[in-house]
Amino acid sequence: MTDGYRVFRWVILLVSLCAASGCTPKGNRGDVNAGGGVPPPIDLLLPKTLEIHSFTQTETFEQQQSGIRARVKALDAYGDGTKAFGRFRFVLYQYQPQTQTKRGPRLADWEIDVSQPEQNLLYWDRHTGSYEFKLGWNQHLGAGQRLILEAMFTSAFTPRLTAEREIIAGE
C-alpha cells in the first residue's frame, strides 16, 4: 500500500464516522451560537406572543408605596404559557380617550431582566404559568383613574413581543 492510499483511507474513515454521528460543519447546525436560530421543533416552545393577564391591578405595597401588580403570560406556538428568558419593559401611560391608541402622557417605566434562571424564577408563578411583577411607583393612583400598561419582551431568541391593557386604579 502506498502512503497516499493510506491517507485516503483515513480521510474516508473520518468522514464516514463524522457523517454517522450527525456531525456537520458549525455554520450548518442551526444552533443559536452559529446564528441560525433555535432548531425545530424546540423553537415552537419559545414565546411567540405576550399577554397582560386580567388580574393585573393597582395595589399599595410595603411602606404605602403605590404600584401595579402586573401578571404577564408568554405564550408559545401552541398558545400555552411558557418561560421567557430576556428582558421585560413596562410603560405606564395616562388614559386618553380622544386618541387612537388611548395613550396619554407617559407616567412611569420599569425594566426587569429575567435572562438568568435564578432571576427568572423570582418572578415565575407555577400555578398560573405566568410572571408576576410588582411595579412600584412614587405617585398616588386615585381610585377610578384609567391607565394604559404596555409590556414589551426582548430576547436574543425571539422577535420583540408587546402587549397592552387598560387598567382602572382601585379595581
Lowest-pLDDT range of 62-66, 96-100, 118-122 = 62-66
- pTM, entire model: 0.77
pLDDT of 116 > 90? The answer is: yes
112-138 average pLDDT score: 95
DSSP letters, the chain, are: --HHHHHHHHHHHHHHHHHHTT---GGGS--GGGTS-SPTTGGGGS--EEEE-TT-EEEE-GGG-EEEEEEEEEE-TTS-EE---SEEEEEEEEE-TTSSS-EEEEEEEEEEE--SHHHHHHHEETTTTEEEEEEEESS---TT-EEEEEEEEE-SSS--EEEEEEEETT-
Question: What is the reported pLDDT for 2?
Answer: 60
pLDDT of 121 > 90? The answer is: yes
Question: What is the reported pLDDT for 3?
Answer: 58
What confidence tier does 77 reach under pLDDT thresholds 50, 70, 90?
very high
pLDDT (tens digit per residue) in 13-65: 444 444 444 544 443 443 443 334 889 999 999 999 999 999 999 998 887 78
> Which of 2-6, 18-22, 28-32, 101-105 is most confident?
101-105
What confidence tier does 9 reach under pLDDT thresholds 50, 70, 90?
low
71-95 average pLDDT score: 96
Q: Please report, rounded to a whole number, the percentage of residues in the chain having pLDDT higher than 90.
A: 65
What confidence tier does 6 reach under pLDDT thresholds 50, 70, 90?
low
Classified by CATH at the fold level, domain 45-168 comes out as: Immunoglobulin-like (2.60.40)
Could you state, in order of their start, the residue ranges of all structural domains in the chain? 3-34, 45-168
